[in-house]
A and B are shown apart, each in its own frame.
Chain A
Amino acid sequence: MITRYLPLLWANLMRKRLRTSLTLASIVIAFLLFGLLQALRLALTGTPELAGVDRLITIHKVSIIQSLPRSYLTRIRGVDGVKVATSLDWFGGIYQDDRNQIGSFPVEVETFFDVYPEYQLPPEQRAAWESDRTAAIVGQALMERFGWQVGDVIPLRSNIWRKQDGGNVWDLRIAGVYSAENGDNSGLYFHYDYFNESRTADRDRIGWVALRVEDPDRAAQIAARIDEMFANSSTETKTTTEKAFVQGFANQLGNIGALLTAIAAAVFFTMLLVTANTMGQSIRERISEIGVMKTLGFSAFNVTSLVLAEAMLVTLLGAAIGLTLASLAVNALAQAVQQYFPLLGLPNSTYALGAALAIGLGAAAAALPCAQAWRLKIVEALRK
């Protein structure tokens, strides 16, 4: 039915082109903002959804900045239900300028890919990394940012660790560029042994353990078992799923989610008023026409549906344009803000959510005019 009346709806909208385009523009802005806010929320809170479902993280119970004995790695592997485990450390890497902070991790290379299978790189690069102690693999975005090439030797300074010779720079040869499905494209991973053998503090200790379990349903049990193993010792642990771990960091940022939702709500409320106002004006001007349509045999239901459809046409069109613009903007910005937000993109739920909001907005805006159209008495209408 709608397609039959589309020319009519369109003609109605084109009647006052300026008014329609201004209303449409307001709605486009509202959805552009909505898309950007969703991308911002994603950037600030990371992606707990992308965390491995079968991965657990074991850290020092008091705080992640405390290190664990390396022997814990072996003991965790022995726990029933643990498939593979690897160790990671926080290097605190800086490249040249103090402000170029790099997410760099000394890891146990032999087991890294077992625990993080989503990290892919060409076989010859992987072999080069595994066989060369001083080698590192780097994310695509990081390579582009500094213009590095595979084979370059880069000096990576640590703002935490010192070497036994008094310096704090580790030279790393770039063996390969990895791609990771979890969105990490600006990390740097190198050999724990190379890092450990020349540092002064925390020798033979590791930062945290990442492990995979055979059965994700038993994750909570296995986590408890691991922590039990080290309970009441001098170094107690806390094991959580990777998802909870990432979520915890997001929570530390404060109530960002609530704040952004509040802003989006404020914007939509204003747009609602604008659209409702425009619809109301438009209907008031056409009262006599609606009377004529009812005379011709259009039922109250038909007339009301047309009013509703007109409103939805504007909101859905505005939403489509707005979200497209948001997607373009986010892609354009992603390169520029990489240092702060390595993971910039529109979350997939945005489009579905946007469509639902557009329909809701249109319905709410048209509510009053629809009620008017429904109850209109033909005689009164024709008199206007």
Chain B
Amino acid sequence: MSGNALAQIAAITSMNVRNMSARATSSIVALVGVAGVVTVLTGVLSIAEGFRTVLAQSGAEDVAIVLRSGATEEMGSSFSNEQTRIIADAPQIARDDAGPIVSPELYVVVDVPLKSTGTPANVPMRGVGPQAMQLREGFRMIEGRPFTPGKFEVMVGRGAAAQFAGLGLGSRLRWGSTEWIVTGIFGDRGGVAESEIWTDAVVLQGAYNRGNTYQSVRAKLISPDALRGFKDALTTDPRLSVRIFTEKEYYEELSRSLVTLIRTIGTAIALLMGLGAVFAALNTMYSAVAARTREIATLRALGFGPAPVVISVLAEALLIGLIGGCIGMAVAYLAFDGLRTSTINFATFSQVTFAFAVTPEVLAQGLIYALALGLIGGLLPSVRAARLPITAGLREL
């Protein structure tokens, strides 16, 4: 573009923007509309993101989960003690002084009241092997101490302790005819384990009449590449009939349907709201153009080309979108980021605690959406402004 055209555009646009205060009410209405849409979109996307993050954090690539063949998740799987030993013998498993780093595990679901409503929730209670903590990289005790193997003691994940009632340090819990004591609270980088209650697998088997059976075996592989060899070794063993995932794959599968659902619903709601906001923006921009008809016609009569007029109107609309988007992002971040909650994962029939995650990607999506709304809202009115017949415009009252 020539320097002249650029100068024209700059002149009209700056005049336009400085005049916006005269149309304050309309502009603010459109602004609030855009901000509202961005807040809602960001909020819903951050739910999906938070949930997905928990499950992604939980998956290590060098930890394999072994289930019985045909099972889609742990509860549908079952191993005898002997089978877990056979699995632990595989050469691809990393070893330390104590032997192969494996944890045969099983979990049950117990009823614990939600702090928010007081109604019962399905919380997973997991019996773990002595090396379970080594298999989870981010594991650390936050308060208290781990349970003592062989005793009716439990340690509670940080998320579970926050969402469900009566799980504080030192609490006594009664399920069935057994009484358990909470000896500690642990964290695992925000992973799934934080929604669980852990105890010794052998004690859990006894309390729930599981004989000497387990549901899954977690094993640390010597390297992520050893997975292929590991799978081959176990599937060709005639004593076993298994299905093997990396922990990462396993959790991705589990979260897939819920994350897709939340994302789909959230996007649909945001699209509809966006449509409503576009109408509001259109309304604002059309009245802006209508109010300035004589002014625009005068500019055109003076020799300003149609392009600067179009761009100045578009600039105004984009500015509304930008400011509305920024306000929406700020509100969403302050209101939602880190908000802890929990929901039921239908795949495992138990609760997963997570926090809303307003990540930079989520914020960026919100901003782009806001700008798009501004653009669409400004396009038609700007074209109308440019095509105004000059003489009719000058006569306009």
Contact = CB atoms under 8 A, between A and B. Distances in A.
B276 A62 contact: no
Chain A interface category by residue count: 35 or more
Given A19-B286, A234-B177, A278-B283, A63 B110 contact: yes
B71 interface: yes
B272 A270 contact: no
A226 B20 CA distance: 72
B343 interface: yes
Contact of A30 (B121, B276, B282): B276
Interface in B14-39: 25-26, 29, 32-33, 36, 39
Interface in A148-165: 157-160, 162
Interface string A222-248: 000000000010111010000000011
Contact of A253 (B71, B268, B276, B344): B344
Given A33-B269, A253-B344, A22 B25 contact: no
Interface residues of B, number: 52
A271 B287 CA distance: 17
Interface in B94-129: 108-111, 114, 116-117, 119-122
A98 interface: yes
A36 B277 CA distance: 17
A270 B261 CA distance: 26
Which 9 A-B pairs have CB atoms at the shortest separation, nearest pair first?
A29-B276, A159-B76, A254-B343, A252-B344, A26-B279, A251-B119, A22-B283, A277-B29, A25-B279
Interface string B260-281: 0100010011001101110110
Contacts of A158: 76
Interface stretch (A125-133, A186-194, A261-269): A261-269
Contact of B108 (A33, A63, A251): A63
Nearest to A157: B70
A340 B277 contact: no
A66 B108 contact: yes
15 contacts: A22-B283, A23-B279, A33-B272, A62-B108, A62-B111, A63-B108, A66-B108, A92-B76, A159-B76, A160-B75, A249-B344, A251-B117, A252-B351, A254-B341, A263-B40
Interface of A: 18-19, 22-23, 25-26, 29-30, 32-33, 36-37, 40, 61-66, 92, 94, 98, 157-160, 162, 168, 201, 232, 234-236, 238, 247-249, 251-255, 263, 266-267, 269-271, 273-274, 277-278, 280-281, 340
Contacts of A269: 36
Among A30, A33, A255, A263, find the residue whose CB has the most chain B CB atoms closer than 10 A: A263
A83 B70 CA distance: 40
Contacts of A248: 119-120
Nearest to A256: B343
Contacts of A40: 265
Contact of A270 (B114, B276, B282, B351): B276
A214 B72 CA distance: 42
B303 interface: no
B21 to A, nearest CB: 16
Nearest to A254: B343
Contacts of A32: 272
For the complex, would chain A's binding face be called helix, strand, loop or mixed by DSSP majority?
helix
A160 B72 CA distance: 9
Contact of B176 (A37, A61, A159): A61
A66 B178 CA distance: 15
Nearest to B261: A340
A273 B29 contact: yes
A62 B351 contact: no
Interface of B: 25-26, 29, 32-33, 36, 39-40, 70-73, 75-76, 78, 108-111, 114, 116-117, 119-122, 175-177, 208, 257, 261, 265, 268-269, 272-273, 275-277, 279-280, 282-283, 286-287, 341-344, 349, 351
A267 B286 CA distance: 22
A92 B349 CA distance: 11
A29 B281 CA distance: 14
B255 to A, nearest CB: 14
A201 B343 CA distance: 30
A159 B351 contact: no
Contact of B279 (A22, A168, A267): A22
Nearest to A168: B70
Contacts of A94: 72
A270 B277 contact: yes
Given A65-B109, A253-B343, A254-B343, A270 B117 contact: no
A240 B380 CA distance: 59
A104 to B, nearest CB: 14
Contacts of A159: 70-73, 76
Given A22-B282, A26-B280, A266 B176 contact: no
Given A62-B110, A64-B122, A251-B121, 13 more contacts: A23-B283, A29-B279, A65-B349, A66-B208, A162-B78, A238-B111, A247-B119, A248-B120, A251-B114, A251-B117, A253-B344, A274-B283, A281-B287
Contacts of A281: 26, 287
Nearest to B178: A62
Given A248-B120, A277-B29, A270 B72 contact: no
Contacts of B257: 340
B317 to A, nearest CB: 14
B176 A236 contact: yes
A162 B80 CA distance: 14
Contacts of A92: 76
Contact of B122 (A61, A252, A271): A252
The interface centre, meaning the residue of B78, B269, B276, B349 with most chain A CB atoms within 10 A of its CB, is B276
A26 B257 CA distance: 32
B342 A63 contact: no
Contacts of A157: 70
B109 A63 contact: yes
A280 B283 contact: no
Nearest to B276: A29
Nearest to A200: B78
Given A270-B276, A281-B287, A252 B265 contact: no
